[in-house]
Amino acid sequence: MKSFENKMRAPKGIEPESWFIECYRRNNGRPLKVLLGLYKGNYYKFVLAVLFFFIKHACVWVLPIVTANIINDITTKNPNVVQNIIMYTALMIFLIVLNVPMNYLYVDYKSQATRYAETGLRKALVLKLQQLSISYHTETMSGKLQSKIIRDVEAIESLSTHMFLSILNIALNIAVALVVTISKSPVVFLFFLVTAPIAAFVMMAFRTRMKESNKAFRKEMEETSARVMEMVELIPVTRAHALEKEEVHKMSAQLLAVAEKGYRLDLIQSLFGSVGWAIFQIFQIICLGFTGYLAFQGDILAGDITLYQSYFATIVNQVSAVISLVPIIAKGFESITSIGEVLLSEEVEHNEGKEILENVEGEFSFENVHFHYKDSDKNTLRGLNLKVKKGETIALVGESGAGKSTILNLVNGFYLATNGRVLMDGKDMSAIDLRSYRKHLAVVPQTSILFSGTIRDNITYGCGVVSEERLMAAVKAANLLELIESLPDGLNTVVGEHGGKLSGGQRQRVSIARALIRDPKVIVLDEATSALDTISEKLIQEAINNLAKDRTTFIVAHRLSTIRDADKIAVISAGRCIEYGTYDELMEKQGVFYEMKKVQS
The contact pattern for ligand ATP, residues 318-357, with x = CB under 6 A and - = no contact, is ----------------------------------------
Footprint of ligand ATP on 456-495 (CB under 6 A)? none
Q: What is the dihedral angle through the alpha carbons of 410, 414, 420, 422, rounded to the nearest 10 degrees?
A: 50
Nearer to ligand ATP, 401 or 500 (CB): 401
Q: CB-based contacts of 297: which residues, under 8 Å, 6+ apart? A: none
Query: What is d(CA 128, CA 140) in angstroms, rounded to the nearest whole number?
Result: 14
Question: Residue 297: how many CB atoms within 10 A of its CB?
Answer: 8
Min. distance of Cβ 160 from ligand ATP in angstroms? 38
Q: Quick one: 136 or 311, whose CB is closer to ligand ATP? A: 136
Amino acid at 149: I
Contact 541, 357 (CB under 8 A): no
Q: Considering the complex, state which of residue 15 and residue 139 has its C-beta at the smaller distance from ligand ATP.
A: 139
Question: Count of residues for the chain?
Answer: 601
Asked whether 331 and 156 are in contact (CB, 8 A), the reply is no
Shortest spacing between CB 349 and ligand ATP, in angstroms = 16
Judged by CB under 6 A, the stretch of 40-48, 79-87, 403-411, 492-500 that binds ligand ATP is 403-411
DSSP state for residue 376 in the 8-state scheme: -
Helices (H) and strands (E) in the chain, counts: 21, 10
Nearer to ligand ATP, 375 or 584 (CB): 375
Q: Which positions from 27 through 46 interact with ligand ATP, judged by CB under 6 A? A: none
Question: Using CB under 6 A, which of 401, 503, 589, 598 touches ligand ATP?
Answer: 401
CB 289 within 8 A of CB 309: no
| Cβ-Cβ contacts under 8 Å for 451 (sequence gap 6 or more) | 457, 458, 461, 498, 499
Rounded alpha-carbon distances, angstroms, from residue 495 to 447, 482, 516: 15, 16, 19
Q: How far is the CB of 389 from ligand ATP (least distance, A)?
A: 23
Interactions with ligand ATP, residue window 535-574 (CB under 6 A): none
Q: Which residues pair with 386 in a beta bridge?
A: 366
Smallest gap from residue 596 Cβ to ligand ATP (A): 12
DSSP conformation class of 246: H
C-beta of 402 vs 432, nearer to ligand ATP = 402
Nearer to ligand ATP, 380 or 553 (CB): 380
Total chain residues near ligand ATP (CB under 6 A): 13
Q: Calculate the CA dihedral of residues 420, 424, 430, 431 and round it to 10 degrees.
A: 130
**CB closer to ligand ATP, 377 vs 469:** 377
> Least separation, in Å, of the C-beta of 467 and ligand ATP?
37
- Candidates 359-367, 402-410, 424-432, 547-555: pick the segment binding ligand ATP (CB under 6 A): 402-410
List binders of ligand ATP among 108-147 (CB under 6 A): 138
Cβ atoms 173, 318 nearer than 8 A: yes
Judged by CB under 6 A, the residue of 64, 362, 403, 499 near ligand ATP is: 403
In the complex with ligand ATP, which residue's Cβ is closer, 183 or 376?
A: 376
Contact set for ligand ATP, span 255-284 (CB under 6 A): none
Stretch binding ligand ATP (CB under 6 A), from 19-27, 48-56, 303-311, 396-404: 396-404
Single out the residue of 56, 404, 507, 568 in contact with ligand ATP (rule: CB under 6 A): 404
Buried b (16+ CB within 10 A) or exposed e, 443-473: bbebebebeebebbebbbeeeeeeeeeebeb
- Out of 405, 447, 546, 573, which residue is the one contacting ligand ATP (CB under 6 A)? 405
How far lies 449's CA from each of 332, 477, 542, in Å? 35, 19, 21
Looking at beta carbons only, is 391 or 445 nearer to ligand ATP?
445
Given a contact cutoff of 8 angstroms between Cβ atoms, the answer to whether 181 and 311 are in contact is yes
Q: Binding to ligand ATP by residue 297, rule CB under 6 A?
A: no
Could you tell me the CA-to-CA distances from 223 to 251, 339, 519 in Å, in that order? 11, 28, 52
How far is 545 from 526, CA to CA, in rounded Å? 14
CB of 12 or CB of 378, closer to ligand ATP: 378
> Measured from the CB of residue 134, what is the shortest distance to ligand ATP in angstroms?
9
Torsion region of 221: left, alpha or beta (phi above 0 gives left; psi -120 to 50 gives alpha): alpha
Rg over alpha carbons for the chain, rounded to the nearest Å, is 36
Among 183, 400, 486, 534, binds ligand ATP (CB under 6 A): 400
Residue 386: its H or E element = strand 381-388
Which part of the chain contacts ligand ATP (CB under 6 A), choosing from 89-97, 99-107, 163-171, 404-412? 404-412
Please report, as residue ranges, which positions from 406 to 435 form the binding site for ligand ATP (by CB under 6 A). 406
Find out whether 533 and 478 touch, Cβ atoms under 8 Å: no
Cα separation of 306 and 191, whole Å? 15
- What residues pair up with 444 in beta bridges, in sequence order? 525
Question: Nearest distance from residue 529's CB to ligand ATP, in Å?
Answer: 8
How would you class 253 by CB atoms within 10 Å of its CB: exposed for 0-12, middle for 13-18, buried for 19 or more? exposed
User: In the complex with ligand ATP, which residue's Cβ is closer, 375 or 469?
Assistant: 375
Site for ligand ATP in 366-395 (CB under 6 A): 373, 375-376, 380
Identity of the residue, 139 or 355, whose beta carbon is nearer to ligand ATP in the bound complex: 139
**Strand pairing category for 552-556 and 393-397:** parallel
- The smaller minimum CB distance to ligand ATP, of residues 3 and 376, is found at 376
Our CB check for ligand ATP shows the closer of 331 and 372 to be 372
Q: Which of 402, 516, 523, 555 binds ligand ATP (CB under 6 A)?
A: 402
Q: How far is the CB of 531 from ligand ATP (least distance, A)?
A: 15
Q: Which residues bind ligand ATP (CB under 6 A)?
A: 138, 373, 375-376, 380, 398, 400-406
